Structure 1
Amino acid sequence: MSVELVLGARRSGKSAWAEARAVELRIGTYLATAAAHALDAERLAAHRARRIGRFVTLEPGDPGELVELVRTVPGGLLLDGLGLWVGWQLSSDHDVSSGELVAALARRSSPTIVVSDEVGWSVHPERALAQRFVDELGALNQAVAAIAAQVTLVVAGLPLRLKGA
């Protein structure tokens, strides 16, 4: 299997660590989910600036397009991140399942790094949609971890290997 899952809390350093790992593995394509959710323009600009000259960046227009890109992009791929994808999926009319994304990831033969938020240690939401988000992302993280050859948790910018060599 060629999938590596990188988990971490918000501002844990998971994206920067995953980008450095992608450079090590000579991954050239960055699949970014944040553009559709540009809630924090400054953070989005910082992420984009880090990628300049290091990656070809693809920013899908909807959740289904992201799954299609995972299926079809040749070579190594860095997907950042699943949390925004789940939020996007829950707030859109597109009927694409997390299972489709996991299946597309499982079929990839080239190195693939997937970044996601670890939601289990956060404040517990009171609203139904927020609870659904936490449940959906937690289930998706578990499904991706099950097919991943490696799983790394990043805390304070430091990696802790949970699965794999």
Structure 2
Amino acid sequence: MAFPILVTGPSRSGKSEWAEHLAAQNHPSVIYIATGKENAADVDWQNRIQQHRDRRPSHWQTLCVDQNLTDTLETLPAGSCALVDSLGGWVANTLELSPEQWQTKQRELITFATQGQNTPITIIFVAEETGWGVIPVYALGRIFRDRLGALTRQLGGLCGQVYLVTGGYAVDLRRWGEPLPPPRD
């Protein structure tokens, strides 16, 4: 169908809203893939989840996914649009994986998502820009930030459309940006 779309930006920038706008524009069948785990003990978190639910059209299907993002994407009907919100939630769900297990999960997702015209669905990824702040002082925070940053960079280089949402604006990075050379090993 189409190459995937990446929408990235800092917290509270409107990236989910922009991704929802893109999905609603041309896709009658949208499947919202939520990666954030519900936590009844955290009232603020539950309120944030509810705000996202309230904003979405009621006819959109919602799937909650933890580690099995690629498996879920592979089962979606042809012609549908998958809005993955967000890659940060998915990375957080996979933090206990070893580096080798993480590389396998990441490679599976990138391979599936970047098959271009052979992928029977449109995928819109939402990703947080966690590297714009300080380097976390604890190891798990650094692993999260590094994994998400590397995944976002890889997808950004392969997606057909890449948007940075900040300050209330969505900037088309493919149009206005220059791609980086591939990272050296």
TM-score, normalising length: structure 1: 0.88
Cross-structure match for 2:111: 103
1:82–1:137 CA contact under 8 A, matched in 2 = yes
Which protein shows a greater Rg?
A: 2
Contact 2:7 2:19 in 1 (8 A): yes
Q: After superposition, what is the alpha-carbon deviation per residue over 1:89-134, rounded to whole angstroms, capped at 9, x for unaligned?
A: 10469x5621111112123243211100012212321101101111
Residue 164 (structure 1) shift: 5.2
Partner residue of 2:174?
163
Kindly indicate whether the alpha-carbon contact (under 8 Å) linking 1:29 and 1:78 is maintained by their aligned counterparts in 2.
Answer: yes
SS at match of 1:124: coil
CA distance in 1, matches of 2:54, 2:20: 12
Residue 11 (structure 2) pairs with residue 10 (structure 1): yes
C-alpha displacement of 1:72: 2.0
1:77 is aligned to 2:82: yes
1:125 to 127, 130, 136: 136
Q: Which runs of 5+ in 2 are unaligned?
A: 177-185
What are the ranges of 5 or more consecutive residues in structure 1 without an aligned counterpart?
none
**1:57 lines up with 2:65 in the alignment:** no
Indicate the SS of the match to 1:114. strand
Contact 2:38 2:46 in 1 (8 A): no
Instruction: For residue 29 of structure 1, report the CA deviation from its aligned partner.
Output: 1.1
* 1:1-21 deviation digits (Å, cap 9, x = unpaired): 420100011111100111011
2:123 maps to amino acid: T
Distance 1:30 1:20 in 2: 12
> What is the SS of the residue equivalent to 1:30?
strand
Paired amino acid for 2:67:
P
2:91 equivalent to 1:86: yes
Aligned counterparts, 1:15-54, within 5 A: 15-26=16-27, 27-34=29-36, 36-38=37-39, 39=42, 40-54=45-59
Task: Report SS of the residue matched to 1:17.
Answer: helix
- Output the TM-score relative to the length of structure 2: 0.79
- Contact 1:77 1:111 (C-alpha < 8 Å) held by counterparts: yes
Tell me, in whole angstroms, the C-alpha distance in 1 between the residues paired with 2:152 and 2:35.
Answer: 16
Distance in 1, matches of 2:54 and 2:96, equals 27
RMSD of Structure 2 on Structure 1 (CA): 2.0
SS at match of 2:151: helix
What secondary structure sits across from 2:131 in the alignment?
Answer: coil
Q: Which runs of 4+ in 1 moved over 4 A?
A: none
